[in-house]
Amino acid sequence: EADIYQTPRYLVIGTGKKITLECSQTMGHDKMYWYQQDPGMELHLIHYSYGVNSTEKGDLSSESTVSRIRTEHFPLTLESARPSHTSQYLCASSEIPLGGFNEKLFFGSGTQLSVL
């Protein structure tokens, strides 16, 4: 089993609140990712990081921000939550073998966010 953890598992919050979704991994992986997924729909990459002090925007425009101050920690913050942010947020990290091929992702259990 992969050692990547997300908290909280479920979050129900009112419009306008600031929220931070936590993601931690104990595998020493450099690359980490945040994906957004609605029920029955595909995963959308919203942020990723190559390592400490590296953050990049993904393919899906997002009003969230991320930080990577420590290798193991990659939190995602929404400054002002809106109902359109209601979704499942999945964090992942990857182990890149020597040679750069065959990058495998390990996912956390996700945070189901509901904004009222």
Residue with smaller CB distance to other proteins, 80 or 109: 109
Among 11, 17, 22, 43, which residue sits at the site for other proteins (rule: CB under 8 A)? 43
C-beta closer to other proteins: residue 17 or 37: 37
CA angle 91-95-97, nearest 5°?
A: 160
Task: Rank residues 33 and 74 by Cβ distance to other proteins and give the closer one.
Answer: 33
Contacts of 26 (CB under 8 A, 6+ apart): 3, 4, 72
In sequence order, which residues have a C-beta less than 8 Å from that of residue 57 and are 6 or more positions away? 46, 47
Residues 76, 64: contact at Cβ < 8 Å? yes
CB-CB contact of 60 with 4 (8 Å) = no
Contact 45, 58 (CB under 8 A): yes
Binding mask 11-40 for other proteins (x = CB under 8 A): ----------------------x-----x-
Residue numbers 77-96 binding other proteins by CB under 8 A = 88, 90
60 binds other proteins (CB under 8 A): no
* Footprint on this chain of other proteins (rule: CB under 8 A): 33, 39, 41-43, 45, 88, 90, 101-110, 112
